[in-house]
Amino acid sequence: MKFSELAKYLQKLEETTKRLEITDILTDLISNLSPQETDKAIYLASGHLESAFAGVKFNIAEKMMTRIIEQAFSTLKETNLKGKVSTLYKKYGDLGSVVFELKKSGKSDLSITKVYSKLLEITKIEGTGSQEQKATKACALIKELDPLSAKYVTRIILDTMRLGFTELTIIASLANLLKDRKLAKKIESKFYIYPDIGLIAKKIKTDGMGGVEKIDVETGVPILSQRCQRVSGIEEIPERIKNMWAEFKFDGTRIQMHFDKNKKPKNDKDEQSDLFGTTKNDFMIKTFTRNLEETTHQYPEIIAAAKKQIKADSVILDGEGIGFDRKTGRFLHFQETIQRKRKYDVAETAKNIPFKYLIFDILFLNGKSLMDKPLKERKEILKKVIEPGEVISVDEQFETTKLEELRKYYDLAKSKGLEGLVVKTPEDSYHPGARSFSWVKYKTADENLINDSIDCVVLGYYSGKGVRSKFGIGGFLVGVYDNEKDTFKTISKIGTGLTEEDWTKLKLMCDKIKIKEKPASVEMDKIFKPAVFVEPRIVVEIGADEISISPTHTAGYALRFPRLLKFREDKSPTDATTLNEIVKMYKNKNKLSKNS
């Protein structure tokens, strides 16, 4: 297929906000692709070149892209091309639309595969003069394309595609392609253990469901983390889980480690900074966040400890990374821990904020998945795989069938300054990507409704007034995730709880992902229309005094006196609090009110 044809499909996707239409367009697109180009087309339509965990990036910012555009159109008879680009950008708020407007006409015979190849070349340019080389290649490609194709290529390079669909929509389209919607759940389960939607689409296009059924767990490919359900109160936990396995809930960051002595690092440049310098890894060791971002370089002490403490040929571990105070041994709060999320000065930061990796699960060992085994058995295996050490340790658990004993263990967690408990069913298998009652979290005693916090997704912001006019932002709109409909629904406008630094940070984060119109994945009443829409990517932790019924917010509920607690850069939008959890929290409030 020519890339210009793909661009027409992308335009159709951009022009609709209806979920069924988007699914139908994607189904039609995939049906017209050859097997060899299917993965590439799916990646490109999603705004990427590979799966999310591959970490392939262009590293071309708006400022540089503006210069590329000026260079590409330097032959135009414009007395002030720079001013023209600036004017168009102010009008559209999108450099892809600027390119489309400037190009006006032109044809292109480049195939999807050829454009993909040229884009991949740009990402691989490194070293001295790399920015100039990237600019030259990007400029040449834009010149070679028709206006519509150039528009979408510009957005792909800038990571601003924003067509309003997720991998779950693509999965629904693949099920449609196979003419059996019931297959969506089977495809989804494979995506959860191998989250590469391009590969999955290619295998279905090549061999139907037979190709997908061969996909299995693999070291180096992150598994989507199992997540916790929320309960209305601690007394609900024994109703859900008879034999309760309680673990402390730490205010850290989820880390999935992949360790394989049989796999070599990708290339000779793969190095791991440690506290004393730089060493090369002889075999593959990687860490991933719950939203599939590779973070290996951030945790040199964990990597060094893994080489000493892990007694296995290959293993996949699930756990929590948390910073601690070297003098007191006290665990640090998330906002302190997250400072380790950086590309530079890693060794210095590691000295200031040392880390521990508390492992609570093992998913894979020596070439075989363990996820179907019960948790109790997995934990026994885990204890044999990890040798004692200062950095990596196997997380402890407390087993009970009695509510009063669970309460005492919860009080112990509070006395240690921890968030609360995660209570698990020891007889259950590991459920990748699922949020089930096999694991439940209990973060507060819920005496005052929301001592517990809510993870929300930022959907847009409002212009600043008065003293906030200097920030250009005075409030923002947040929503929760409706996992049944794969959409985000509004729940609150927020204007408090932010420092000057927070306002500045939020504005910068939002402006990187701002869009002209409401995304297809967002349900919103027009009365909450923000000054600037953003793609639903930013997760924030919100505190509030109460949840109330709302006739205007699309969640059906609103937060009373909401305030920002922290940015959750370690979470993806689908990790946000779900609509079902909000319903449960509201019902719990009423139950507590009646009992008081």
The torsion angle over the Cα atoms of residues 521, 522, 526 and 532, rounded to 10 degrees, is: -100
Question: Is the model's pLDDT at 460 over the cut of 60?
Answer: yes
Which comes out higher in pLDDT, residue 278 or 243?
243
DSSP letters of 485-540? TTEEEEEEEE--S--HHHHHHHHHHHHHTEESS--TTEE--GGG--SEEE-TT-EE
pLDDT of residue 404: 96
Pick the CATH number of 454-595 from 2.40.50.140, 3.40.50.280, 3.40.50.2300, 2.60.40.10: 2.40.50.140
Question: Which phi and psi (to 5°) does residue 433 adopt?
Answer: 70, -5
Question: Is the model's pLDDT at 564 over the cut of 60?
Answer: yes
pLDDT confidence of 353, banded at 50, 70, 90? confident
280, β-bridge pairs: 271
* Shared fold status for 227-442 and 454-595: no
Query: Considering only CA atoms, which of 507, 478, 459 is closest in space to residue 164?
Result: 459
Q: Which CATH class is domain 227-442?
A: alpha beta
CA distance 495 to 474: 6
Give the global pTM: 0.82
- The total of other beta-carbon atoms located within 10 Å of residue 59's CB is 13
CA distance 22 to 140: 32
Q: Does 3-158 carry CATH code 1.10.3260.10?
A: yes
Report the percent of the chain where pLDDT is more than 90: 65
Residues with active-site annotation: 249
Which comes out higher in pLDDT, residue 18 or 239?
239
Which comes out higher in pLDDT, residue 435 or 365?
365
Query: Considering only CA atoms, which of 546, 529, 369, 516 is closest in space to residue 446?
Result: 546
Question: Is the model's pLDDT at 106 over the cut of 80?
Answer: yes
| Domain range annotation of the chain | 3-158, 227-442, 454-595
pLDDT confidence of 273, banded at 50, 70, 90? very low
Give me the residue label for tokens 């993909």. Answer: 116
Query: Considering only CA atoms, which of 43, 42, 38 is closest in space to residue 205?
Result: 38
Alpha carbon 288 to chain centroid distance?
11
Residue 59: left (phi > 0), alpha (psi -120 to 50), or beta?
left
Mean pLDDT within 235-253: 93
Mean pLDDT within 553-557: 95
Question: Is the model's pLDDT at 333 over the cut of 80?
Answer: no
Mean pLDDT within 27-50: 96
Give the count of alpha carbons within 13 A of 527, CB side only: 8
- The total of other beta-carbon atoms located within 10 Å of residue 32's CB is 12
pLDDT of residue 79: 66
Of the ranges 236-250, 445-459, 560-574, which is most confident?
Answer: 236-250
Residue 127 · residue 56 · CB < 8 Å: no
At 204, is the secondary structure helix, strand, or coil?
helix
pLDDT of residue 447: 40
At 19, is the secondary structure helix, strand, or coil?
helix
pLDDT of residue 377: 98
pLDDT confidence of 275, banded at 50, 70, 90? very low
pLDDT of residue 594: 52
Query: Considering only CA atoms, which of 147, 264, 243, 229 is closest in space to residue 483?
Result: 229
Question: Is the model's pLDDT at 568 over the cut of 50?
Answer: yes
Residue 476 · residue 567 · CB < 8 Å: no
Which comes out higher in pLDDT, residue 273 or 11?
11
The torsion angle over the Cα atoms of residues 193, 122, 46 and 191, rounded to 10 degrees, is: -10
Query: Which CA distances in Å does 375 have to 217, 311, 312, 314, 439?
Result: 18, 20, 19, 19, 11
Under DSSP, the state recorded for 298 is: G
H/E stretch holding 409 reads helix 403-415
pLDDT of residue 449: 43
Cα dihedral sign, 308-310-313-317: negative
Question: Is the model's pLDDT at 278 over the cut of 90?
Answer: no
Query: Considering only CA atoms, which of 493, 449, 427, 490 is closest in space to residue 587?
Result: 449
Mean pLDDT within 101-122: 94
Question: Which residue type is seen at 178?
Answer: L
103's CB contacts (< 8 A; 6+ apart) are 73, 142, 145, 146, 147, 150
CA distance 514 to 155: 12
pLDDT confidence of 274, banded at 50, 70, 90? very low
pLDDT, tens digit, 9 for 90 and up, residues 463-501? 866 556 667 898 999 999 998 888 999 999 998 878 888
pLDDT of residue 308: 95
Residue 173 · residue 530 · CB < 8 Å: no
